[in-house]
């Protein structure tokens, strides 16, 4: 791993939010494509998922999701539940950043897709018992759309349609359905 990249990871522990965010942006940029150094930081990121600092937890989750495409050893299968658990984080912003990144894992392998669709379905079903339930539901419908767009998986599309149909509030049902209509013309 290049010293510059290692420096980005070291800066994730900075107390200075500007430095931490700048390093995060650089890491996300680097990990938009597969990287060879994935396992040099993997365990560090998994540990960071339980950091006392919610910003670091959010960063770790988003970077791990981005690194899924580089994970040729299949480590994600062992750590995916930790990421899914973070969608219930006490800090909603952390939970939401994690939730919004999960699609990047689902498109890597069918077994990840299956695990995540199951989790997201459960998360959608129970979202209203938590704060910001309609926002969580909206994010999940958007995730299903991203997964579908990347994979063409008809089961994901059908699952999204079924979830949308369960929404009893017509206003939100229309809002969720619009995610699919606006992007596909359906």
Cβ atoms of 16 and 55 within 8 Å: the answer is: no
Residue with the two structure tokens 């939010």 = 17
User: Using alpha carbons only, what angle is made at residue 168 by residues 174 and 94, rounded to the nearest 5 degrees?
Assistant: 75
Our measurement of the distance from residue 107's CA atom to the centroid of its chain's CA atoms, rounded to an integer in Å, reads 11
Q: What pLDDT was estimated at residue 182? A: 62
pLDDT tens series, the chain, 186 aa: 789 999 999 999 988 889 999 999 999 999 999 999 999 999 999 999 999 999 999 999 999 999 999 999 999 999 999 999 999 999 999 999 999 999 999 999 999 999 999 999 999 999 988 889 999 999 999 999 999 999 999 999 999 999 999 999 999 999 999 999 865 444
**Annotated domain spans of the chain:** 1-101, 109-186
The model's pTM is 0.91
Q: What pLDDT was estimated at residue 73? A: 94
Decide: residue 170, CB within 10 A, 0-12 exposed, 13-18 middle, 19+ buried.
Answer: exposed
| pLDDT tens digits, 89-128 | 999 999 999 999 999 999 999 999 999 999 999 999 999 8
Cβ atoms of 11 and 23 within 8 Å: the answer is: yes
Residue with the two structure tokens 């013309």 = 185
Structure tokens at 53: 């600092």
Q: Which of 99, 112, 97, 100 is nearest to 151 (CA)?
A: 112
Q: Which of 134, 142, 129, 69 is nearest to 99 (CA)?
A: 142
Query: What's the CATH number for 1-101?
Result: 1.25.10.10
Decide: residue 91, CB within 10 A, 0-12 exposed, 13-18 middle, 19+ buried.
Answer: middle
Structure tokens at 83: 């990421």
Q: What pLDDT was estimated at residue 1? A: 74
User: Using alpha carbons only, what angle is made at residue 139 by residues 101 and 45, rounded to the nearest 5 degrees?
Assistant: 20
């Amino acid at each position: 791993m290049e010293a510059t990249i290692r420096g980005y990871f070291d800066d994730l522990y900075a107390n200075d939010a500007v430095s931490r965010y700048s390093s995060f942006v650089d890491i996300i940029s680097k990990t938009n494509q597969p990287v060879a150094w994935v396992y040099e930081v993997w365990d560090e990121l998994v540990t960071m998922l339980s950091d006392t600092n919610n910003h670091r937890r959010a960063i770790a989750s988003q970077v791990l999701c981005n690194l899924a495409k580089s994970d040729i050893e299949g480590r994600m299968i062992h750590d995916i539940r930790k990421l899914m658990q973070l969608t219930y984080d006490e800090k909603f912003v952390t939970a939401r950043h994690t939730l919004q990144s999960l699609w990047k894992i689902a498109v890597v392998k069918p077994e990840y897709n299956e695990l995540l669709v199951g989790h997201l379905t459960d998360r959608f079903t129970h979202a209203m018992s938590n704060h910001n339930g309609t926002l969580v539901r909206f994010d999940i419908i958007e995730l299903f759309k991203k997964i579908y767009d990347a994979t063409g998986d008809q089961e994901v599309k059908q699952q999204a349609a079924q979830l949308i149909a369960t929404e009893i509030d017509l206003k939100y049902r229309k809002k969720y359905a619009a995610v699919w209509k606006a992007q596909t013309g359906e």
